[in-house]
Amino acid sequence: MSCKMAAPRLQTPDPPSAGRTTYPHEGAWYFIPMSFDLLTTVEYGGCSAKLPAGKLAEALAGLPRIKHPDLLVDIETHDDAGVYRITEALALVQTVDFFPPVCSDPFEFGEIAAANALSDVYAMGGTPLTAMNIAMFPQNRIPLEVLKEILAGGQSKVQETGAVIVGGHTIDDYPPKYGLSVTGTIDPRRIITNTGARPGDMLILTKPIGAGAIAAGQRMKMVDGPQYRAALDCMKQLNRRGGEIMRELGVRSATDITGFGLAGHALKMAKGSGVTLVIRCAEVPLLDGAYELVDGGCIPGASFRNLEFVEPDCRFAPDLDYALRMLCCDAQTSGGLLMCVALDAVERAIDMLRNGGHARARCIGEAAEKGEKSLELA
Q: Is 37 left (phi over 0), alpha (psi -120 to 50) or beta?
A: beta
Single out the residue of 240, 296, 302, 345 nearest to residue 99, CA to CA: 302
Give pLDDT, residue 173: 96
Residue 17: band (very low, low, confident or very high) from pLDDT cuts 50, 70, 90? very low
Residue 128: band (very low, low, confident or very high) from pLDDT cuts 50, 70, 90? very high
**Is 182 a residue whose pLDDT tops 60?**
yes
Mean pLDDT of the 77-105 span? 91
Q: Is 225 left (phi over 0), alpha (psi -120 to 50) or beta?
A: alpha
Sign of the dihedral defined by the CA atoms of residues 180, 181, 184, 188, in that order = positive
Cα gap 96→180, rounded to integer Å: 6
Mean pLDDT of the 354-374 span? 98
Cα gap 41→114, rounded to integer Å: 20
Mean pLDDT of the 259-273 span? 96
| CATH code that applies to domain 41-186 | 3.30.1330.10
Residue in 3, 47, 298, 314 annotated catalytic: 47
- Span of 59-63, 159-163, 165-169, 322-326 with lowest mean pLDDT: 59-63
Mean pLDDT of the 209-232 span? 93
Directed axis angle between helix 144-161 and helix 106-123, to 10°? 30
Predicted confidence (pLDDT) per residue in 280-323, tens digit: 999 999 999 999 999 999 999 999 999 999 999 999 999 999 99
CATH 3.40.50.360 fits 202-377, yes or no: no
Mean pLDDT of the 356-364 span? 98
Single out the residue of 15, 5, 28, 176 nearest to residue 106, CA to CA: 176
**Is 61 a residue whose pLDDT tops 90?**
no
SS3 153: helix
| Residue 47 among the catalytic residues | yes
Give counts: helices (H), strands (E), the chain: 11, 15
Q: Say which amino acid occupies 90.
A: L
- Span of 50-64, 99-113, 170-184 with lowest mean pLDDT: 50-64
Whether the CB-CB separation of 157 and 182 falls below 8 Å is answered with no
**Is 10 a residue whose pLDDT tops 50?**
no
Give pLDDT, residue 34: 53
Mean pLDDT of the 206-230 span? 93
Mean pLDDT of the 270-287 span? 98
Give pLDDT, residue 19: 42
Sign of the dihedral defined by the CA atoms of residues 120, 291, 293, 222, in that order = negative
- What's the chain's average pLDDT? 90
Q: What predicted TM-score, i.e. pTM, was given to this entire model? A: 0.89
CATH 3.30.1330.10 domain locations along the chain: 41-186
Alpha helices in 162-258 (DSSP H): 211-219, 225-236, 240-249
Give pLDDT, residue 65: 82
Cα gap 320→301, rounded to integer Å: 20
Q: Which residues contact 143 (CB under 8 A, 6 or more apart)?
A: 1, 2, 3, 36
Predicted confidence (pLDDT) per residue in 107-126, tens digit: 999 999 999 999 999 999 99
CATH 3.90.650.10 domain locations along the chain: 202-377
pLDDT above 70: percentage of residues in the chain: 90
**Is 138 a residue whose pLDDT tops 80?**
yes
Q: Which residues contact 306 (CB under 8 A, 6 or more apart)?
A: 52, 53, 260, 261, 263, 264, 329, 330, 331
Give pLDDT, residue 35: 65
Residue 21: band (very low, low, confident or very high) from pLDDT cuts 50, 70, 90? very low
3-state helix, strand, coil in the chain (%, to 5): 35, 25, 40
Mean pLDDT of the 78-98 span? 92
Burial 88-121 (b: 16+ CB within 10 A, else e): eeebbbbbbbbbbbbbbbbbbbbbbbbbbbbbbb
Higher pLDDT, 28 or 358: 358
